[in-house]
Every structure is written in structure tokens, then in C-alpha cells.
Amino acid sequence: MPADANDRAILDAPLRLHGDDTPERPVADVLLRELILEQLPVRLPTEHQAQWLDLLSHLSVAHDPECADVLLRHHQSGHVHHLTAHHVSQLLTDTGWPACERHFIGDFGLRQLLVHRLYGLRPGGAAWYADHHLLRDHYAQRAAGEAPDAQGDGAFRSLTAHRMNHHLVSGGADDVVSHLAATLPGRPGAWCADLLEIAQAPYPGGADARRERAQGLVAADGPPLRRTVDQLLHAVWLCEERTRPTGKETARTLAKLLDLLSIMDFEGAGRLSRTATDWSGLAENEQPLLRCTCTEQLRRRR
């Protein structure tokens, strides 16, 4: 695969099952049939069976029950009978899928499969962008007037971080960089936590431009602080999107960018030196920077 490929592209590869006389089918179609369509939850009401795969595809971008309920209300509008996030969680558990405190679809492999399907559901990733815009706007309304370091009660530390996560993956990377550059001075510890939460997001389909942007090979506007934050966001995003290896190259990039920030003239800058050591060590060893149940499962499998 080319260096700028998204590893989810392998799901489009043609596959013919051993002893199967049917035409080749994409890997994703085979897996979706075997893992979901042929293993519907026993307690799934008949009226929801036809849309079960579509609902799960939309829920692949959700993080917690509130997030999931926003999507479910939207995609079940006009239906007489509605599933809630609580119902879906129970059905997934009954079917044997694990739970995660940061991802509503708590199995990493299943989530990547569903994310891939969501992006291809409509031309140009339209279904993907619509879902992220829906969630971005929901949390923008909820975050209005929120204090800078307000603590949330869901998968994110704050409503603003939740909003920025969905804005990042739906075309708002420049806005997210501006937000991060403006909120860094005076709060490096909380800022690093925000950065990790914002960047724990699946990358859209198509060529992956994050590596070049992280290395400063893409022209960026603004003062040195903003340009460095831009590169750092994309380097962290590479580490948090667990479809690509990180290794020594990304580790060196993280260390260099955090060290650059640590010598800039703003309050608390020096505290980022320790973060540079910690994060680069994790990246070099292919470890997630922000741990959760499903990334721990992935780490143990390796």
C-alpha cells in the first residue's frame, strides 16, 4: 500500500471464500455479513432488523450514550418504534461485543469495519460528514458558555473537547488548530488532555495527509505557536488513529514538536518537556497515547 494510504482500504480488497462458487466480494461485505447480519441479537425486535446494520454504522462515530442517542433520534425519525442507546448497548452485550468507556462501539475491529462502511454509504463520504456535523452542532449548543476547564460526565473531559473532536474529522482541522493554539498558554496539563481527546478520532477515507502535515511538509499560516500546534495535532492524531503504525518516525516528530513548544514564551511552556519524553516513548513502542478498554485489548493482542 502507498505511504499515504488509509489501512482501512484493505477492506475493499476482493475476497472469495474457500470452496465458495459465488463471485468475489469485498472483504468488508464478507465480514459484515458474518459478524452482524448472520448474528443478529436474539432480542432485537423484528421491526428493527432491517435497519440494524445501518444504525450500527452511524453509531460507529459515537462515544457515549448521549452521543449515540443524538444519532439514533435523527436516524429513526419517522419510525414508530425507536431503539435507544441503552437498548443498543444491551443488544451488543448480549451478542458478545465488548464495551469501552470512550467508544460506543467498544470493539476496535468492529468499529473500524463500521466506520469504513459509513464513509462509503453515500458518495464523497456524505453520510460520515453529516453524522459528525450533527454531533458537532449538538455539542456546540451544549458547550455555549462552558468554563475553560469544565469537567464533563461522558467520554470527554468537556463538551468543548467533544465538539472539537467531531469538528476535526468533518473538515474543521484549521478551526481546531486555532482553538488549541488559543487555549494552550497557562494550562499545559489540561491542554494536553484536551488534545488527546480531540485527536482520538477515525480519519476519513481517501489519502492520508496527516504524516506530511505533522512533519511540516504542508504550508501552514500563522505565528510559530500556531504552526507548531498544527503539526502536533496531526502527529497525535496519527498515534490515536490506530489503523497506522507510529514507530520511531512519529516518536521523533512528537518529541521535536513538544520540545519546540516547551521553549516558547508562554506560561507553563516548560512543563511540556516531560510530556515530550512520555508521549514519544509510547509512540515508539506502538502504544496509544490515551488508553481505553478497546486500545488495551488491541495492545494485548499484539
pLDDT digits (tens, 9 = 90+) for 145-182: 777 666 666 899 999 999 999 999 999 999 999 999 99
CA distance 61 to 117: 12
Nearest to 233 by CA among 269, 258, 208: 258
Q: Is residue 162 one of the residues assigned to a domain? A: no
What pLDDT does residue 299 have?
Answer: 62
Task: Give the domain range for residue 203.
Answer: 172-302
DSSP 41: -
Q: Is residue 96 one of the residues assigned to a domain? A: yes
What pLDDT does residue 165 have?
Answer: 96
Please tell me whether residue 15 adopts helix, strand or coil conformation: strand
Same domain, 124 and 10: yes
pLDDT tens, the chain, 302 aa long: 676 677 788 888 888 776 667 778 899 999 999 999 999 999 999 999 999 999 999 999 999 999 999 999 999 998 889 999 999 999 999 999 999 999 999 999 999 999 999 999 999 999 999 999 999 999 999 988 777 666 666 899 999 999 999 999 999 999 999 999 999 999 999 999 999 999 998 888 877 889 999 999 988 889 999 999 999 999 999 998 877 777 899 999 999 999 999 999 999 999 999 999 999 999 998 888 999 998 776 666 55
Same domain, 113 and 182: no
Q: Is residue 134 one of the residues assigned to a domain? A: yes
CA distance 280 to 274: 10
What pLDDT does residue 10 have?
Answer: 85
Same domain, 210 and 114: no
Same domain, 1 and 69: yes
Same domain, 66 and 180: no
CA distance 241 to 200: 6
Please tell me whether residue 14 adopts helix, strand or coil conformation: strand
CA distance 35 to 258: 42
**pLDDT tens digits for range 99-130:** 999 999 999 999 999 999 999 999 999 999 99
Packing angle between helix 108-120 and helix 52-59, nearest 10 degrees? 100
Same domain, 115 and 177: no
Q: Is residue 15 one of the residues assigned to a domain? A: yes
Place of cell 473537547: 161
Q: Is residue 258 one of the residues assigned to a domain? A: yes
Q: How far is CA 48 from CA 113, 121, 239, 295, in A?
A: 21, 19, 36, 30
Nearest to 205 by CA among 97, 133, 112, 143: 112
Of the residues 123, 157, 191, which one is the last residue of a structural domain?
157
Nearest to 82 by CA among 107, 59, 51, 117: 51
Of the residues 132, 157, 182, which one is the last residue of a structural domain?
157
What pLDDT does residue 98 have?
Answer: 94
Nearest to 7 by CA among 265, 211, 267: 211
Dig out the grid coordinates for 58 from the structure.
Answer: 452511524
Same domain, 136 and 181: no
Alpha-helical segments (H) within the chain: 27-32, 46-49, 52-59, 65-75, 85-94, 108-120, 126-143, 159-168, 173-183, 188-199, 210-214, 224-240, 247-262, 272-284, 293-301
Same domain, 178 and 279: yes
Same domain, 2 and 140: yes
What pLDDT does residue 298 have?
Answer: 63
CA distance 6 to 3: 9
Of the residues 112, 130, 157, which one is the last residue of a structural domain?
157
Q: Which helix (H) or strand (E) holds 26?
A: strand 25-26
Dig out the grid coordinates for 207 from the structure.
Answer: 489519502
Place of cell 500546534: 229
What pLDDT does residue 35 have?
Answer: 95
- Half-sphere exposure (Cβ direction) of 10: Cα atoms closer than 13 Å: 9
What pLDDT does residue 302 have?
Answer: 53
Same domain, 210 and 302: yes
Q: Is residue 167 one of the residues assigned to a domain? A: no
Same domain, 256 and 144: no
Q: Is residue 118 one of the residues assigned to a domain? A: yes
Same domain, 196 and 267: yes
Count of structural domains within the chain: 2
Q: Is residue 164 one of the residues assigned to a domain? A: no
